[in-house]
Structure 1
């Protein structure tokens, strides 16, 4: 999946949202709504806080944490992509500067 990076008028690099993030957002919203509805319905059926309801709540929270971690990992991956591109540019500049310095030393001798 490729990333779209756009440089704005201030020279800052901005990115456009990709398909994975859209799907992750929709799945996250669906998990929140369906999970809250199911937990509420189970509480109304039981009438009290049962062990099954408590397990359902904890599993729902674990699922939410997993979705949040997936979003964080996607963001980290994109930031690493930006850092790697900047590192490549810096390495090329250092290589050019090193070759220019070698030429200058050779001319002095």
Structure 2
């Protein structure tokens, strides 16, 4: 019994994630300045510079802004800064440097 010839074909399956995985970061609070700004350089508060590593910060809680270095009471230099809330209005933890993804990912 002969089989009918079928032309070789390739089947491609696309990966579909069944869960949303959010990025998490481990950041050290290494900025101690009087002024933290949003991206529009509007002052929003100050950084406490607690020098602790804050682990598993969710991507939506981490914001990008600037810290201001003052010289003679005048803004001298704006440095891009990652900041996140401390739980006290007007005070933020802040980090200079690269974002470091944590080893743990949060599944929502």
TM range (shorter): under 0.3
Instruction: Give the structure with higher Rg (CA).
Output: 1
Q: Structure 1-normalised TM-score?
A: 0.25
TM-score, length of structure 2 as denominator length: 0.25
Higher relative contact order (CA 8 A, sep 6+): 2
| Larger fraction in strand | 2
Structure with greater helix percent:
1
